[in-house]
Amino acid sequence: MFKILVTKHFKLSHRLEMLFSSFVVEYINELEKYKGKKEEVYGVIGYRFFEFNDIQLYTNLKFIQLTSMGVNTVDVDYVKNRKISLCNAKDAYAIPIAEYVVGAMLSFYRGLFDFKDLQRQKVWKMNMKLQELYNKKVLILGTGNIASKIAERLVGFQVDITGFNRSGHLPKHFHRVITSLDIFSDYDVIICTLPLTKDTYHFIDDAFLKKCKDGLLFINVARGSIVKEEALLKSLRENKFYAVILDVFEQEPLDKNSELYEYDQVLITPHNSFASMSNYKRLEEIIYQNIKDLL
């Protein structure tokens, strides 16, 4: 009997168990080599299983359902050539990530982190030099689901929203889309939501950052390797940024000796922007619909 391998971090709902009633379901630690019979595996539900297991050994594999948005943990070309169905969970995490982005922006512009520090010191001190999100010029790199959810929430703050993609497609909530990044020194905020590909690796490098305006608020909720970390640090040393909000890094977890920890204008979160107690319901629905269509 064929098997469905499921990461131990995702518990199948009753209706998913019913879909898999003709298979053996096996919960696994996806961060280690699978010791079972590879030829019995029909499908895999997880995130990093094929970082630790050679996909070419799974000769009867028919589908991969990722519990992540990104697909960079899978050899996509091989999957296409083998005609293995590959699905991600792009819609599951867009809402909490969008709220994270807007919340972090407001926290810096309205001085909330500084006020919290003063509170710890029991100091009453006003700050009259705060900024507004209103009327800011925002560039969102990528116009996919996460970017669209961010743009949807920013509309209410009456900001100017530009998206960047290669197709020129203009999604809802964006005021315009650009297909090249020759000139972008006018943007107050740049938010990275790009997928990690060969073309986007170190997409944000020294040359990119030099084109940005001084006082930029930069946010990365995509993948750490899209930003060349040394270039980011160089710009931080030059006092380029109003603030930098990082949820992803080239190396995770971030080394405790990283220079990034030293800057007050940097917010570091441990790849946590996606987290929400509401995620399971959305993820289960996505997986159910995908699997139902596949089987």
- Which pLDDT belongs to residue 184? 79
266 closest CA partner among 238, 241, 243, 232: 243
Burial 34-43 (b: 16+ CB within 10 A, else e): beeebeebbb
- Which pLDDT belongs to residue 10? 96
Four-way CATH pick for 94-268: 3.40.50.2300, 3.40.50.620, 3.20.20.120, 3.40.50.720 = 3.40.50.720
SS (H, E, C) 65-90: EECCCCCCCCCHHHHHHHCCEEECCC
Contact 187, 213 (CB under 8 A): yes
Report the predicted TM-score, pTM, of the whole model to 2 decimal places. 0.92
Contact 182, 194 (CB under 8 A): no
- Could you report the per-residue pLDDT of 53-68, keeping only the tens digit for each? 999 999 999 999 999 9
Which class for 75: exposed (0-12), middle (13-18), buried (19 or more C-beta within 10 A)?
A: middle
- Which pLDDT belongs to residue 70? 86
Which parts of the chain sit beneath pLDDT 50? none
C-alpha–C-alpha distance, residues 9 and 266, integer Å: 31
Four-way CATH pick for 3-90+277-294: 3.40.50.12160, 3.30.379.10, 3.40.50.720, 3.40.50.970 = 3.40.50.720
Q: Where in the chain is the domain with CATH 3.40.50.720?
A: 3-90+277-294, 94-268
